[in-house]
Amino acid sequence: MFRPTATLSVLFCTALLLTCVTCRFVRFEYLGCYKDRVSPRDLNGLSGGSRIGGFDVENYKRVRSAEMSHELCSGICSIGSFPYFGVQYSTECYCGNSFGSHGLASEADCSMDCSGNAMQKCGGPVKNSVFSLSYPVSDNNTYTVVKQSSPPVTSGTTSVWPVAAQSVEDCLLRCSARADCQAAVFSRQELACHLLEFVYPPGHLSGPEWTLFVRG
């Protein structure tokens, strides 16, 4: 299932996004820079596990990735429906049900760039940039990818609307804003989005370069 996202434009803000890890609609908000320890970890929700989703959990109860970002870590932790996540030392992700057990740190201690997005900060040595994580529920903003195996649908009325969109998320946000949008097709190759009144697209929008997203 896919849900649309709003772009995270400022580091310390509330963000609403599609997590590509889980395809869930999640919201996260920056809470501050907090101290950590190797034992016990402040964000210890991954203790006792060896994998979460498709990610390995290391001995230090973390997921580590060269592509780490706020979005990636929030997606990882949303698999377990955790209310908090923290990014540390540029590449590390931690999940938890509580935080702050070792106290607040200076913001200057969380100044390392995220390995997957140099525009974001991902903590520091034994310091977590901590975020809250919530899960808004809205069936109207849920999308399913559908294989385009059905024949094109034709209609005597205008049933397709082209809109400007630079990403899947932008395209789905446009669909969510319209009550009469039942589906959307997006081409990564052409960076083109079309909103649909009916579930299936017309023939010229059903080629292999187009991905169909059905709402609800």
Rounded to a whole number of angstroms, the CA Rg of the chain reads 20
Domains in the chain, ordered, with CATH?
28-134 (no CATH), 143-215 (3.50.4.10)
Could you tell me if 116 and 66 are in contact, meaning their C-beta atoms sit under 8 angstroms apart? yes
**Which of 152, 192, 177 is CA-nearest to residue 6?**
177
Q: What is the DSSP letter of 2?
A: B
What is the per-residue pLDDT across 23-66, written as a single tens digit (0 to 9) for each? 566 789 999 999 999 999 999 999 888 888 778 999 889 999 99
Q: Which residue has the tokens 């997590």?
A: 19
- The pLDDT tens digits for 83-142 are 999 999 999 999 999 999 999 999 999 999 999 999 999 999 999 999 999 877 655 667
The neighbouring-strand residues paired with 146 are: 212
pTM above 0.85, yes or no: no
- Mean pLDDT for all residues in the chain: 81
**What pLDDT score does 7 carry?**
30
- Residues 72 and 153: their CA atoms lie apart, in Å, by 37
Q: Burial, 214: exposed, middle or buried (Cβ in 10 Å; 0-12, 13-18, 19+)?
A: middle
Percent of the chain with pLDDT over 90: 40
Provide DSSP, 125-156.
TTEEEEEEEE----GGG-EEEE---SPPP--S
Phi-psi region of 211 (alpha: psi -120 to 50; beta: other; left: phi over 0): beta
Residue with tokens 């005597």: 156
Strands 127-134 and 183-187: unpaired
User: What is the SS3 assignment for 42?
Assistant: coil
